[in-house]
Amino acid sequence: MGWQSRTRSLQVFDTELSADSVEWCPLTQWSHVLACGTYQLQKDDEKTSVGSTTPSRTGRLYLFEFHSQGSFTPPLTETQRIDTPAILDLKWCHVPVCERPMLGMATARGEIQLHRLVDTQQQGSCLEHVLSTELGPDRLALSLDWSTGRGESSDTRLVSSDSTGSLTVLSLGETSLNPISQWKAHDFEAWISAFSYWDTQLVYSGGDDCKLKGWDLRMGPSSPTFTSKRHSMGVCSIHSNPHREHVLATGSYDENVLLWDGRNMRQPLSETSVGGGVWRLKWHPTQEHLLLAACMHNDFHILHCQQAMDGNEGSCPILASYILHNSLAYGADWSWLPLSSPPPSSPQEPAPATVEFTEPGGHLRIQYESPTASFDTSLEDDSGRYIPDHSPPPEKTQPSPAPLPSLGDNSASMSCLLATCSFYDHMLHVWRWDWSPEETEPAPSS
């Protein structure tokens, strides 16, 4: 039986500032709530003191509610916006904290902020600031992860990585967020940190030194449990599979997604080239083998990882791609909100925007990019133009997924709601992916 994959854009929202993080609330009662974080480098900020070389980084936190109200009503409604320091990462805690959803935020001021979701009569859900903890001076908080990925609420902790190459583990108390340990983990920026959701004493990290490392908190941070140099460039995405023990996904500027068995980190289970640096990876909320990838220069892709997870060699086929963004693909997340209704009728989706290149010259391949000062300044010419926008785009490459696998032996149609965001065009997209058996023509009667 063949299968049909279809993506459909539902709504596009201009975030005004560069968007780099989107997160759907994972708690059932609030699964219609979406948070989006932005990052903007203010190079000529008047507030910067004379002679200062430290740029000002500002951000904004958006909160939305999603309600499907018919074909002609936009489903996404903004309920709140908060001006903040520049946001590098957002993560909802997977379990309630004091019976409320809790959103963690990593900022360019080197702090972790916690915001509680509350209900108001005037504007629906909104966030209120609860706690902030500084990781240390002269650093950017680059990522965070909660230990609660499998819905376990005991001993709730966070791990964060920062621009000094350090990791910090924090424990959440009733009224405080307390650092448990902090150590130097990487030679350069530590782009990403993540818990093993099956053994939350294990932490993984990836850095601009091209290394993927593991840490056992019971043994202390004096040395990692492993160091892998399998990625050839900076490691910037790690996500533990909450449904399948030992399975880990990692992504890098080297444009590859690697799947690992945590019991043997010498060699990955699979390697998939996705044609762009892999800034974020997200496992599906309920389907253990579906992996969402934000691929910087090459859009957003949904990978089918079942065969690799079962020990079969080869890359993971791409089931679907969302290509309507026109800038760096950074933030991506699956919604936990079930979609049972058919796709809303709407005008035909526009084709991806194209750019006519009138200036000669070859493509400038950007090897290292991140929402930091060096990234924002090094990629502009003397006129202040973003260089890649005036160069031919990289060739879109992806493995051929023929024939497409099914979602299981007895799987029926399924529909998923997703949100993605892109950087320089400051756009948030909400879209759906529908996966269904292909309808076959009945055989003519003789």
Q: Which two tokens stand for residue 12?
A: 């596009």
Residue 318's nearest CA partner among 302, 339, 307 is 302
pLDDT in tens, 280-324: 999 999 999 999 999 999 999 999 999 999 999 899 999 999 999
- Look up residue 386 and give its DSSP letter: B
Predicted confidence (pLDDT) at residue 258 exceeds the cutoff of 80: yes
**pLDDT tier for residue 52 given thresholds of 50, 70 and 90:** low
Q: Residues with Cβ < 8 Å from 24, sequence gap 6 or more?
A: 31, 33, 34, 92, 333, 334, 335, 336, 337, 417, 419
pLDDT of residue 271: 98
Residue type, 272: T
Across 366-387, average pLDDT: 38
Q: Is pLDDT above 70 for 44?
A: no
* Domain spans, the chain: 3-44+58-344+365-434
pLDDT of residue 81: 97
**Cα 428 → chain centroid:** 13
Q: Across residues 126-134, what is the average pLDDT?
A: 97
Average pLDDT of span 15-36 = 97
Higher pLDDT, 328 or 401: 328
Average pLDDT for residues 361-386, to the nearest whole number? Answer: 38
Output the average pLDDT for the chain. 85
178-181: Cβ within 8 A, 24+ apart: 178/133, 179/133, 179/135, 180/217, 181/217, 181/220, 181/221
Contact 216, 201 (CB under 8 A): yes
Per-residue pLDDT averaged across 140-151, rounded?
Answer: 97
Closest by CA to 107, choosing from 142, 61, 63, is 142
- What percentage of the chain carries pLDDT values higher than 70? 79
Class (C level, CATH) for 3-44+58-344+365-434:
mainly beta
Instruction: Check: CB of residue 363 under 8 Å from CB of residue 391.
Output: yes
- 406 pLDDT higher than 90: no
Predicted pLDDT of residue 348: 35
Region of residue 416 (left: phi > 0; alpha: psi -120 to 50; beta: else): beta
Which pLDDT score is estimated for 384? Answer: 38
Share of the chain above pLDDT 90, in %: 70
Contacts of 151 (CB under 8 A, 6+ apart): 94, 95
Distances (CA, A) of 235 to 1, 99, 119, 222: 38, 35, 38, 21
- In this predicted model, what pLDDT tens digit does every residue of 236-251 receive, in sequence order? 999 999 999 999 999 9
> Residue 359 above 60 pLDDT?
no
The sign of the dihedral angle between the CA atoms of 218, 223, 228, 233 is: positive
**pLDDT for residue 278 is more than 50:** yes
Is pLDDT of 442 > 80? no
* CA–CA gap between residue 277 and residue 368 (Å, rounded): 9
Q: For residue 444, what are its two tokens?
A: 């003519």
Q: What is the pTM of this model?
A: 0.85
Q: Higher pLDDT residue, 92 or 388?
A: 92
